[in-house]
Structure 1
Amino acid sequence: MNDQVTVVVATRNRRDRLFETLPEHAAPVILVDNGSDDGGPEAIATAFPAVEVVRLGENRGAAARNEGVRRAGTPYVAFADDDSYWTPGSLARAAALLDRHDKLGLVTARVLIGPEGRLDPVSAAMAAAPIGTPPGAPGPSVLGFLSCAVVVRREAFLAVGGFEPHLFVYGEEALLAMDMAAAGWWLCYDEALVVRHFPQPAGRDDGARRRIEARNRMLTALLRRPPAVVARTLVSAARDSPAAGWDVLRALPWALRHRRRLPPAVEANLARLPSG
């Protein structure tokens, strides 16, 4: 059992998947429940007494992870979804990297999808190192990640405010990555770290997901990017989901109040990404 890392899992109505994945975690687990009504929190607390179950009573989306990080008593926190887990040795390696590199605020893993273990395209893109590797860093720099595949330095995560509650879910990682990089932290990819992910898309509303993803792309640009990038993002995201434009319009006063530009070096690296 790793004593430097806590695994934080945010969940909602996924009791059956948790019974499959929780036994795989090689570190203490804090399970943050987003108002499930399937009896999951009670069942998990009974079946896994070592797991700290936090019942929020409401659905906070990705920001539920913030509560888990606040409660963690370790210097590093790994995120996992209710349908994912870190492979043996990965958390210990991540902790060693964070111990060794004081500037490392976040390290992200290679993600293998499904029973066949096919490489997630996001991991392949990170391995290509489009923004290079800082001198002395343990791996290529990243300015985005999959939430189920990162280990964060707890103090760094909390100092930038964690996941933004207004973004809820889908694409919430981009803003956090920008803010950690703006604070001077390294965010790096290490393909020796491995996460297994077993997503089940059946039953999800793809139209609703596209709308939220488009909204979050627009809001993230409004919050941090220069006007030209904001305009380009608004056009492309509205094309993906016209209804998302109305969502952004309602959130516009909030976004403008919280807008702040990124340091030039971070913005320059974002511009070098294929999505930049």
Structure 2
Amino acid sequence: MAKVSVVIPVYNGAATISRALESVFAQSYSDSEVVVLDDGSTDDTASVLAGYGDRIRAVSQPNRGLAGARNAGARASGGEYVAFLDADDEWMPEKLARSAAVLDQDPNCVLVYTGALRVDQNGRPMPNQDSQTQGVDSPTLAQMLERPWNVVPSQFMVRREVFARCGGFDERFVTSCEDLYFLLNAREHGHFRSVPELLVRKSTRPLYPKALEREQECELFVRLVRSRYGASAAGLIREFRRMRVKVMRHMARTLMEEGRPKDARRCLARVIHYQPASPKAYRRYLKTFLPARSPLAASRTGDGEA
């Protein structure tokens, strides 16, 4: 039995899954198995996976979303540690070795995560690679309840027994927030450790419309966190909502620059939802009904934001 189970959920990922798998096969760590969970793909994903033969264990199921796919993949695996990789991400060759070593050496550590380099769809590093964890290597639960802990599944490895005690990822989440909620749950069972090197290439996708479509699950995240942690999660909820406002404003600004005021209006309506007492939020929203102005005209008035 392999010590580490690599679980890769994929949905219509025929264009990227090979790149993800090759990064797994290139690992310096060899005591691992690879389980790929095809979550109801309708493209050529199944054919691509078939080409790998017995190098992987391919499992398929009707579409259930990311949480359900990761959970099913974990159930189909048997390693002591479970490492997740999204089908459009890649690992550096030392990812598994560096992560497994931490869990081997520290039996009280339940989860280890590495750094990640965000790249665009062409594989180029994104600007403004802000620190995801603000220099805190082993957060307390109290610290994680102060703000969103933006460590994605491709970055972490977790002990199987802890994953099972958490009940895996909460399948009420289909496309978003399942990782944030899982990390809070896992932290209740023991401490985390960090490997500071950038050992994941995390792909970024266009925000619109997916970020807007995820708003319902963001609201679910807030409700579950408030129910589970009460007043101690006030900081996390506040910062999570602030983060959502930032995303919605950014999308609206981009959409206005693209001449898509109706789409921008949808995003700004969500800003108003989060900030109902903000006059600026209403002004931005109303501007989407005005005739488009040239960038030069906007710069002359000093008013170029959506």
2:4 maps to which residue?
A: 5
CA distance in 2, matches of 1:233, 1:133: 17
CA distance in 1, matches of 2:47, 2:129: 36
Structure 1 pair 86–223 and aligned structure 2 pair: CA distance change class (3 A):
farther
1:163 maps to which residue?
A: 169
Work out whether residues 144 and 177 of structure 1, in 8 Å CA contact, stay in contact via their aligned partners in 2: no
Cα shift at 1:220: 3.0
Asked if residue 98 in structure 1 is aligned to residue 97 in structure 2, the reply is no
CA distance in 2, matches of 1:133, 1:230: 16
Structure 1 pair 194–58 and aligned structure 2 pair: CA distance change class (3 A):
same
In the TM superposition, what whole-angstrom CA distance separates every residue of 1:164-223 from its partner, at most 9, and x where no partner exists? Answer: 00122212122212222222x1122211361112333377533213x1452243233233
Cα shift at 1:66: 1.2
Structure 1 pair 157–178 and aligned structure 2 pair: CA distance change class (3 A):
same
Cα shift at 1:163: 0.3
Cα shift at 1:130: 8.2
Work out whether residues 12 and 36 of structure 1, in 8 Å CA contact, stay in contact via their aligned partners in 2: yes
Return the TM-score normalized by structure 1.
0.72
2:64 maps to which residue?
A: 59
Match of 2:179 among 165, 173, 179: 173
SS at match of 1:72: coil
Cα shift at 1:9: 0.8
Structure 1 pair 144–200 and aligned structure 2 pair: CA distance change class (3 A):
closer
Structure 1 pair 45–108 and aligned structure 2 pair: CA distance change class (3 A):
same
Work out whether residues 67 and 171 of structure 2, in 8 Å CA contact, stay in contact via their aligned partners in 1: yes
1:129 maps to which residue?
A: 136
1:36 maps to which residue?
A: 41
Asked if residue 220 in structure 1 is aligned to residue 224 in structure 2, the reply is yes
Structure 1 pair 203–127 and aligned structure 2 pair: CA distance change class (3 A):
closer
CA distance in 2, matches of 1:69, 1:119: 34
Structure 1 pair 193–125 and aligned structure 2 pair: CA distance change class (3 A):
closer
Structure 1 pair 53–164 and aligned structure 2 pair: CA distance change class (3 A):
same
Match of 2:160 among 138, 146, 154: 154
Identity %: 23
1:137 maps to which residue?
A: none
What is the number of equivalent residue pairs in this alignment? 234
In the TM superposition, what whole-angstrom CA distance separates every residue of 1:95-138 from its partner, at most 9, and x where no partner exists? Answer: 1110111111111111012234458856x13251187689xxxx
Work out whether residues 214 and 244 of structure 1, in 8 Å CA contact, stay in contact via their aligned partners in 2: no
Work out whether residues 170 and 212 of structure 1, in 8 Å CA contact, stay in contact via their aligned partners in 2: no
Work out whether residues 2 and 78 of structure 2, in 8 Å CA contact, stay in contact via their aligned partners in 1: no
SS at match of 1:102: coil
CA distance in 2, matches of 1:75, 1:179: 19
SS at match of 2:73: helix
Match of 1:69 among 71, 74, 79: 74
CA distance in 2, matches of 1:104, 1:204: 38
| RMSD over equivalenced CA pairs, Å | 3.4
Asked if residue 84 in structure 1 is aligned to residue 89 in structure 2, the reply is yes
Work out whether residues 106 and 186 of structure 1, in 8 Å CA contact, stay in contact via their aligned partners in 2: yes
Structure 1 pair 85–232 and aligned structure 2 pair: CA distance change class (3 A):
closer
Match of 1:201 among 196, 203, 206: 206
Work out whether residues 113 and 120 of structure 1, in 8 Å CA contact, stay in contact via their aligned partners in 2: no
Work out whether residues 222 and 237 of structure 2, in 8 Å CA contact, stay in contact via their aligned partners in 1: yes
Instruction: Could you tell me which runs of 5 or more consecutive residues in structure 1 were left unpaired when the two chains were aligned.
Output: 135-141, 246-276
2:288 maps to which residue?
A: none
Cα shift at 1:150: 0.6
Structure 1 pair 131–16 and aligned structure 2 pair: CA distance change class (3 A):
closer
Work out whether residues 9 and 79 of structure 1, in 8 Å CA contact, stay in contact via their aligned partners in 2: yes
Work out whether residues 84 and 197 of structure 1, in 8 Å CA contact, stay in contact via their aligned partners in 2: yes
Asked if residue 16 in structure 1 is aligned to residue 9 in structure 2, the reply is no
Cα shift at 1:40: 1.1
SS at match of 1:126: coil
Structure 1 pair 233–52 and aligned structure 2 pair: CA distance change class (3 A):
same
